[in-house]
C-alpha cells in the first residue's frame, strides 16, 4: 500500500467534493445558528452542543460517505475510476481516511469555530450563551465512537448499491432490525416458553392478599412454581447478559473491520462486473 497514491486519491476526492461540502455545511451552520439563537432566548439550562453535534456528525457524515463511490457507479466515470493506478486496498483506505478520520477531525474544528461565532452573537443579543463546544465530553466521545462504526455500514452501502445507496442502506438496516427482533422473540419463546407459561397475570381489586395495599387496584403476579420460576429467571438473565456482551463485542470490535473487508471485496467484484 503506497502512502503517496493514497494521498493523491484523497486530494482528488476532496477537490471535487469540497464545493458541495462547503455549501451543505454552510446551510446546516446557518440553520443551526438560527435554532441556537432561538433556544438561547428560552434559556441555557441544557447542553445545546451535546445534542446537535452528534446530529451534524451523523447527518453530514452519512451524506458525504454515501457519495464517496459516486464515480464508481457513473457509466461515464466508472472506467476512469477503476483504471486509476492504485490498488483496491488503497482506494478503500482513501475512503476510510477521507470520510471517517479526516471528516471527524474537520467536524471537531468546524463545530468549535461555529460555537465561537454562536456564543459571540448570543452574548451580544441576549447576554448569555450555551458556551463553547467541548469536544472531550463523554457524550461527544460516544457519538464519535459510534459514528466510526456506523460509517462502515454506510460505506459498504455506498459501494454495493449503484443508486440511492443511503436510502437503500437505511431500508436494509430497518428490515434486518425487524428480522432480528422477531428471531430473538421466537428463540426466547422456544427456549423459555415453559418458564414464561409458569406465570400468569390476575387482577386484584382488593390489593395485595396480605392487605398491605388493600383497596388499591393493581396487577398481581401469581406464580405457580416459585422455585422453577426463580431458576428460569436466572437462566434468562444469564443468557441475556451473554447475548448483550456478544452483541457489544461484535458491534464495537468486529463489525467495522468486517465491513471494511467486504467493501474492498465489493470494489474488486465491481471491476470484474463492469468489465474493466
Q: What is the mean pLDDT of residues 76-84?
A: 84
* Nine cell digits for residue 60: 453530514
Task: Please tell me whether residue 219 adopts helix, strand or coil conformation.
Answer: strand
Runs of H (alpha helix) within 83-224:
88-96, 103-126, 138-160, 165-197
Residue environment code for 260-272, b if the CB has 16+ CB neighbours within 10 A, otherwise e = beebbebbeebbe
Q: Is the pLDDT of residue 82 over 80?
A: yes
Confidence of residue 210 (pLDDT cuts 50, 70, 90): very low
**218 secondary structure, DSSP code:** -
Given this model, what pLDDT does residue 231 score?
A: 64
Confidence of residue 198 (pLDDT cuts 50, 70, 90): low
Q: What is the mean pLDDT of residues 28-41?
A: 88
pTM for the model: 0.82
Angle at 177 between CA 171 and CA 180, to 5 degrees: 140
Query: Is 28 or 212 the better-scoring residue by pLDDT?
Result: 28
Is the distance from CB of 249 to CB of 60 less than 8 angstroms? Answer: no
Confidence of residue 274 (pLDDT cuts 50, 70, 90): low
Q: How far is the CA of 223 from the CAs of 141, 168, 208, 228, 234, in angstroms?
A: 45, 47, 14, 10, 15
Confidence of residue 79 (pLDDT cuts 50, 70, 90): confident
* Nine cell digits for residue 37: 439563537
Provide the phi-psi class of 133: left if phi over 0, else alpha when psi is between -120 and 50, else beta.
Answer: beta
Average pLDDT, the chain: 82
CA–CA dist 131, 134 (Å, integer):
9
Given this model, what pLDDT does residue 200 score?
A: 47
Amino acid at each position: 500500500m503506497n502512502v503517496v497514491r493514497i494521498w493523491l486519491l484523497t486530494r482528488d476526492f476532496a477537490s471535487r467534493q469540497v464545493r458541495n461540502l462547503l455549501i451543505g455545511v454552510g446551510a446546516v451552520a446557518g440553520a443551526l445558528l438560527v435554532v441556537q439563537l432561538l433556544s438561547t432566548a428560552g434559556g441555557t439550562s441544557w447542553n445545546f452542543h451535546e445534542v446537535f453535534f452528534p446530529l451534524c456528525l451523523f447527518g453530514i457524515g452519512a451524506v458525504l460517505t454515501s457519495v464517496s463511490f459516486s464515480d464508481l457507479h457513473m457509466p461515464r466515470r466508472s472506467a476512469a475510476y477503476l483504471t486509476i493506478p492504485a490498488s483496491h486496498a488503497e482506494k478503500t483506505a482513501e475512503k476510510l481516511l477521507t470520510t471517517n478520520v479526516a471528516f471527524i477531525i474537520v467536524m471537531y474544528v468546524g463545530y468549535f469555530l461555529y460555537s465561537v461565532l454562536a456564543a459571540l452573537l448570543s452574548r451580544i443579543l441576549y447576554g448569555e450563551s450555551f458556551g463553547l463546544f467541548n469536544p472531550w465530553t463523554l457524550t461527544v466521545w460516544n457519538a464519535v465512537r459510534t459514528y466510526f462504526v456506523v460509517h462502515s455500514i454506510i460505506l459498504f452501502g455506498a459501494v454495493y448499491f449503484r443508486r440511492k445507496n443511503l436510502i437503500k442502506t437505511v431500508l436494509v438496516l430497518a428490515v434486518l432490525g425487524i428480522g432480528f427482533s422477531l428471531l430473538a422473540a421466537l428463540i426466547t419463546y422456544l427456549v423459555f416458553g415453559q418458564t414464561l407459561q409458569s406465570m400468569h397475570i390476575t387482577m386484584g381489586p382488593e390489593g395485595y392478599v396480605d392487605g398491605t395495599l388493600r383497596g388499591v387496584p393493581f396487577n398481581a403476579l401469581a406464580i405457580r412454581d416459585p422455585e422453577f420460576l426463580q431458576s428460569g429467571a436466572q437462566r434468562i438473565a444469564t443468557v441475556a447478559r451473554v447475548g448483550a456482551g456478544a452483541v457489544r463485542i461484535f458491534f464495537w470490535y468486529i463489525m467495522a473491520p468486517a465491513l471494511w473487508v467486504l467493501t474492498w471485496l465489493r470494489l474488486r467484484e465491481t471491476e470484474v462486473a463492469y468489465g474493466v
